[in-house]
A = this chain, B = another copy of it.
């Protein structure tokens, strides 16, 4: 059994991770760390799990001390707060899947500009591999440090990669209009996230400056082997979970919808969690699962393709993908422990 430690276990992603690991046939929880709730039990913070996951939450210090007892560390923390944990784990030959943003951007300067802070573990950047297995499976297999992709970015990149890599769209025309449920904003006592403030309304935010933008651009640039700049606009939707990305680009040639579907289905033929499908998508079709659904439309009037993609921001957009990546770096079937059905 793989021995697992989770840092940030009481955030929404961390909690989802604990839940998935709990049911995973080849992994066991060694510790759950939450500095804010250290000493309490996990089921005090999430009473759902009373009688199921009553593990006592340990502090950051205790987690550091236990680092040599685990095989893999998951860090699910705000940006720029995972460096110490990750360094310590790597020193102990513990594999790491970091769900935060700290190791996703190859370029330190880009990181420091968009995140407005210093990067304190640049020595680890070289060994970090961007963990989107649908694109980079080969590089990932032997990695010790996986930078788990962001939620918006996973939906966006999986939607655009086949079109870009097959050169059927103009890379300078990409616009991604994304919509997310409120868990995406985290579990923090912020008035703007109260039910009374964010139900019965929708808002755009981070227009032209959201931090997932450079991450999407970096990956799409790799795919298209050229600098890609996009517009990315996130929106907050009054629901708990789910991301829908509506992506627009101008087509470079006159392909039929069937031809484009063929490109997408070929691209994802070995990806068990991508469902390329013909119907209109809804986020609930992937809710609580590790699927990313993708659907295509072409507007012959404007010669644009409109690609929609959906996923559960806490599963394929965070904890599910992290476990998929754990499976991969430990040589297991990537779907192990991830066969949750949609609800």
Residues of chain A having any CB pair with chain B under 8 Å: 12, 19, 22-23, 47-52, 175, 177, 179, 181-183, 187-191, 193-205, 207-208, 229-231, 233, 235, 237-242, 244, 246, 248, 275, 277, 279-288, 297-299, 301-302, 304, 306, 308, 339, 341-343
- CB of B342 within 8 A of CB of A49, answer yes
Assembly CA distance A324 to B100 (angstroms)? 40
Q: B188, B235, B277, B302: which contacts A179 (Cβ < 8 A)?
A: B235
Please give me the residue from chain B that is nearest to A299 by CB atom: B208
Minimum distance in angstroms from A258 CB to a CB of chain B: 16
**Most chain B CB inside 10 Å of its own CB: which residue of A179, A188, A205:** A179
Minimum distance in angstroms from A233 CB to a CB of chain B: 6
Give the number of times this chain occurs in the complex, counting copies: 4
- Known contacts A201-B242, A203-B282, then 17 further A-B pairs from the complex at CB < 8 Å, ordered by chain A residue: A48-B341, A49-B342, A50-B275, A175-B175, A177-B233, A179-B237, A182-B196, A189-B189, A195-B238, A200-B239, A200-B287, A203-B280, A231-B306, A235-B246, A238-B238, A248-B248, A343-B343
Contacts of A297 in B (CB 8 A): 207-208
Minimum-distance CB pairs A-B, first 5: A48-B342, A201-B284, A208-B299, A189-B189, A203-B282
Please give me the residue from chain B that is nearest to A208 by CB atom: B299
- CB of A285 within 8 A of CB of B204, answer no
- CB of B238 within 8 A of CB of A281, answer no
- A240 and B196 in contact, given A175-B175, A201-B287, A275-B51 (Cβ under 8 angstroms): yes
Contacts of A242 in B (CB 8 A): 200-202
- CB of A202 within 8 A of CB of B239, answer yes
- CB of A47 within 8 A of CB of B302, answer no
Assembly CA distance A235 to B256 (angstroms)? 24
- CB of A231 within 8 A of CB of B248, answer yes
Assembly CA distance A288 to B177 (angstroms)? 26
Please give me the residue from chain B that is nearest to A236 by CB atom: B282
Assembly CA distance A58 to B188 (angstroms)? 29
- CB of B231 within 8 A of CB of A304, answer yes
Minimum distance in angstroms from A108 CB to a CB of chain B: 19
**Most chain B CB inside 10 Å of its own CB: which residue of A12, A19, A231:** A231
Q: B177, B240, B299: which contacts A195 (Cβ < 8 A)?
A: B240
- A48 and B285 in contact, given A194-B182, A202-B242 (Cβ under 8 angstroms): yes
Assembly CA distance A341 to B42 (angstroms)? 14
- CB of B244 within 8 A of CB of A204, answer yes
- CB of A237 within 8 A of CB of B238, answer yes
